[in-house]
Structure formats: C-alpha cells, structure tokens
C-alpha cells in the first residue's frame, strides 16, 4: 500500500523508460559509518579420498580496536558457515539470524559443483556474512570474529569446544516439549500480531517463490525451442530462392529474441529467484524466533503458576521468577528492535527486486 501511494504521488508526467523508472525508487538513507568490510570470493575445489568440497576465500578489512590486524584472509567451506549460524542462534535465540543457502540450492535448476551453482552459493554466503556485519548486535559476536580471523586449524580447535551431542539433543527435546504445550497464556498482543503477520507472509512468499520458478522454467523451455527454431529458417532459405531473404530475416529476428530471452532469464535467476527464496528461509527463521520467545514466556508463566500453588519455597521461586522476568524482557526488546529492522530491510529488498524485474521486462519487450 505504501509503495502504491508513493507511485501515485509522483508527477503524472514522470517518464516511464527503463533508464528513468529506477531513479524514482532510490533510497536516500543517511550514510552509515562502516568499520567492517567482508568479501567472499575465489571458490576452490578440494578432492579427497572421502569427499569433494568447495572452499571460499573470506577477506575482512576493519578499523575496529578489538581486532589485532586491519586485514584478514581465511578460507572457509560451507560447513564452517553452518557452524557460525548455529553458534549465533545459540547465543542470540531471539534475534533474527540471516539465512544460509541450503545444502543444495535451487535443486533441479543447477547441478552441484557447476560454475552456476558455485557462483550462486558464493553470492549467498557473501550476503550472509555482510548481513551479520551490518547487524548492531551480531557483528560483535565472538564466534563471528573467530570465523573471520582464525586459521583453519584454529577454527577446528575452537569448534571442538562447543556443546556435545547430548547437550544439543537436550535442547531439541526441550524445544519440542515446549512446542506441544499449547498457546502461551500471557503473550503480549504485539507478538501475537507478529505471529499472524508471519503466517500470512510465509504463505504469500512461498506462492511467489513457486510462481517465479514456474516463470523461469517456462522461459527456459521457450528459449530452448527458439534455439532450434532459428537455424531451421536458415537451412530452409538455402532451398527457397524466392523467399530466401525473408527466411533469413526471420532467422535473424528469432536469434535476437533468443538473446533477449537469455538476458531476461539471467535477470530472473540472479535477481528475483535468490531474493524470494532468501525470504522463504527468513519466514521459517522468524517463526522459529517467535517460538523461542514464547518458550521463554511459557517458562515464566509456569513458574508463576507454580508459585501460586506452593506455600513453601516462596523465596526460591521469587528469585527464579525475577530472573525469568528479566530474560523475557531482554528477549522481547531484542526481538522488537530486530523486527522493525528486518521489516524495513525486507521492504527495501522487495521493492528493489520487483523494480529490477520490471526494468528487465521493459528492456526485453523493447528489444
């Protein structure tokens, strides 16, 4: 609704050519003072007797005092990124941790270890680290610093200090047990609204994701047919002297359409599909964050109920309740601040993405 109002408020004489349309949507935010710059590049294949995997170079430049150097260069594989994400979730259960590309991203569209797959993943990993770097809390996480600076053997040693399997299983069991207890009694209205918003958002973003993939598949099928159709006219022209020039002209037109379609497909696969799928993953992450907030709230509620039913041990219960109240307040404040930030980023990403799609479509039809 906001974007429609903004479009309607623009001058009626606004030019609608592709080059000028995008300028209507520039975001003139105040410049931020950044002190941490991260680049993910230079993918490299590694083949061992047990497995084949890709590592990526992670280059960090910073002016922060807590770093021993101003520049670091390390190599990381996908499993290292997964470890970082799990450590951030463990340390900040009610913050919105950016999603990672799945183990096999865009399954069925690209082959694993193909150049296209590796480049798609590199971009996603680059975005993942930079979203963390731009986050006001996550950027100062100690595990994030270690991920950016430690050499491979140091990181491996640090990983071994993490919680064991039984500890992780315990967390999972507690989470499952909490999820089946039912609705939280004293959930603030704000978080009920967030939950409703995310349920609707999840449905809509999943539909958009499916439609975008279907459009891409149809474009690819159309492109493949045109690739065969053009040369047929060129061959045909050799046996039809009277209409040879016309047939060659048709072949040339098909070739131009073919190239324009290929560019359009590249725009969809580079700009639209990854963004939509990223927010499909974000919707799952946010539902998980809201559940974890409810879990903390549920723990407090059960202690309050227990205190009301017990006549003894009141001092002990009161102390536990005080700690849980602080925990709930911290969780609520963290999620509220992150929620506003996430919604603003999401709206900017969506507006920019769909504007780019419109730009590409205009160029495509003009060509």
Comparing 19-23, 69-73, 233-237, which segment has the lowest mean pLDDT? 19-23
% of residues, the chain, pLDDT over 90:
56
How much is the mean pLDDT over the chain?
Answer: 82
pLDDT of residue 111: 55
pTM score: 0.78
> To the nearest 10°, the Cα dihedral for 270, 272, 274, 275?
130
For Cα atoms 169, 170, 172, give the angle at the middle one, nearest 5 degrees: 65
pLDDT of residue 16: 44
List Cβ<8 Å contacts ≥24 apart for 160-163. Answer: 162/83, 162/87, 163/90
CB 21 within 8 A of CB 362: yes
- Pick the more confident residue, 308 or 360: 360
- Pick the more confident residue, 113 or 137: 137
Comparing 259-263, 272-276, 306-310, which segment has the lowest mean pLDDT? 306-310
- Pick the more confident residue, 63 or 162: 63
Residue 29 — very low, low, confident or very high, per pLDDT cuts 50/70/90?
A: very low
- Pick the more confident residue, 27 or 35: 35
Residue 45: enclosing H or E segment and its boundaries?
strand 36-47
pLDDT of residue 91: 92
pLDDT of residue 48: 79
């Amino acid at each position: 609704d906001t974007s429609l109002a903004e479009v309607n408020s623009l001058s009626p004489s606004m030019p609608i050519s592709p080059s000028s349309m995008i300028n209507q949507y520039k975001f003139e935010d105040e410049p931020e003072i950044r002190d941490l710059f991260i680049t993910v590049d230079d993918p490299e294949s590694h083949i061992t007797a047990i497995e084949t995997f890709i590592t990526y170079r992670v280059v960090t430049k910073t002016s922060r005092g807590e770093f021993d150097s101003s520049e670091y260069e390390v190599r990381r594989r996908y499993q290292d990124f997964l470890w970082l994400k799990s450590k951030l979730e463990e340390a900040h259960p009610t913050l919105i941790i950016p999603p990672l590309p799945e183990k096999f991203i865009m399954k069925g569209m690209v082959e694993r270890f193909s150049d296209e797959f590796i480049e798609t993943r590199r971009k996603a990993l680059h975005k993942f680290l930079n979203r963390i770097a731009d986050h006001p809390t996550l950027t100062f996480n100690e595990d994030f610093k270690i991920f950016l600076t430690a050499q491979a053997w140091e990181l491996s040693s640090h990983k071994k200090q993490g919680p064991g399997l039984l500890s992780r299983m315990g967390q999972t069991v507690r989470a499952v047990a909490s999820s089946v207890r039912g609705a939280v009694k004293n959930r603030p209205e704000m978080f009920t609204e967030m939950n409703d918003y995310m349920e609707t958002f999840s449905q809509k973003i999943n539909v958009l994701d499916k439609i975008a993939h279907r459009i891409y598949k149809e474009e690819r099928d159309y492109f493949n047919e045109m690739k065969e159709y053009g040369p047929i006219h060129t061959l045909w022209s050799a046996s039809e002297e009277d209409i040879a020039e016309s047939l060659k002209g048709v072949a040339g037109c098909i070739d131009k359409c073919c190239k324009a379609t290929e560019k359009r497909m590249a725009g969809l696969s580079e700009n639209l599909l990854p963004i939509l799928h990223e927010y499909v993953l974000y919707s799952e992450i946010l539902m998980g964050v809201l559940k974890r907030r409810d879990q903390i709230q549920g723990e407090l509620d059960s202690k309050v109920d227990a205190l009301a039913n017990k006549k003894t041990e009141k001092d002990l219960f009161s102390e536990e309740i005080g700690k849980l109240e602080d925990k709930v307040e911290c969780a609520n404040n963290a999620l509220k601040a992150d929620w506003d930030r996430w919604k603003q980023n999401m709206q900017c990403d969506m507006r920019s993405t769909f504007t780019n799609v419109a730009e590409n479509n205009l160029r495509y039809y003009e060509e």
